Structure 1
């Protein structure tokens, strides 16, 4: 599962690391406590004038399919299970044609205490602080209440794909779900806008995910991260247990 994460990179740094492009007006708010329904950066590829362009956009975290009557459905669709994503009406169209990457600097997960009375938050990240890019989906939703041409007529939203956690190792003790990471090669394949057959792409991503996640570091952090109103670099500082 991924329900809270960190993304504090500047636009220029993010674009460079993802080998992408972005509009000069794109703004990203640094956040050490990103929560569902907030605006997050995503990377996707589009075919423009016959050429593939990799772009960074800002999307609402929580997928709103084009057929939805209300954007509130996105509240329940910030994660998509790999086992059912190709069949679920909310996700299956996006899986075929609107796949994206969701870059993060790490994410938070809560581990239950042995007595089950409390939970200890952990910050999960790569050892050198490099980006992790999760497999994701995106959608465009047209607001019927807005006039054609209105600046806010279209809502861009996204979801992060998850898979079962490995049966052994630290991640297995943390949560039974794991967001699916992609390496650079896997990201290129996942984003390919000309590939409309998602099953092999998902299978390839799943085959590499546990190996990529094996290098992640799990740092115990303070309880302050549990409140979405708290936001600052102190949230990812490791604490002694």
Structure 2
């Protein structure tokens, strides 16, 4: 695992954006899975600002996860946090974007649809995610098997509580649907981003604890090309 500390959130975001831009210019048909939330927001904005015409014409984007029961038009949906700052301004054609449908009548079939899409692309080229306060990646909560592909997760209280910040009013959050840790481990490049002093404790755990399923982010340590990039505020040292 490559651990790198950047002086500021801006420097972290610039590095992450530049990595993606350089990758897609060398691999124009890349398949990229990105997370929603606040951590990657500046990375998305930087990608949009620095992208050249044609950079993303053949790239496929896959949304990492979604809250079950939340409409895609809800401003707090995971889709909104990727669509509005990244997909729409880049002008990505709809057939090159796939988000989980948290309202699907058959959630298991929705998982299978995403599994088949990723498999048809030969796996993910890049997966770029944040890290939860409990060490989750996507909505893979502690205890999730590292051998799991896309699945429905039962949300821990801390995840449901922290998730309220994305919504304008109190919103029940009990389940998520998410790309699995097996997808994360099989991706050609896996990147975890963290910023802010609120992430110091969980970054310290990832750095110091052995790999175990009680700490999903520890899977990064056994990835063949795993990167943990943080700003100085999130660095526990």
Specify which structure has the bigger relative contact order, considering alpha-carbon pairs within 8 angstroms and separated by 6 or more residues: 2
Higher strand proportion, which one? 1
Shared fold (TM-score greater than 0.5)? Answer: no
The TM-score, its normalising length taken from structure 2, stands at 0.28
The TM-score, its normalising length taken from structure 1, stands at 0.28
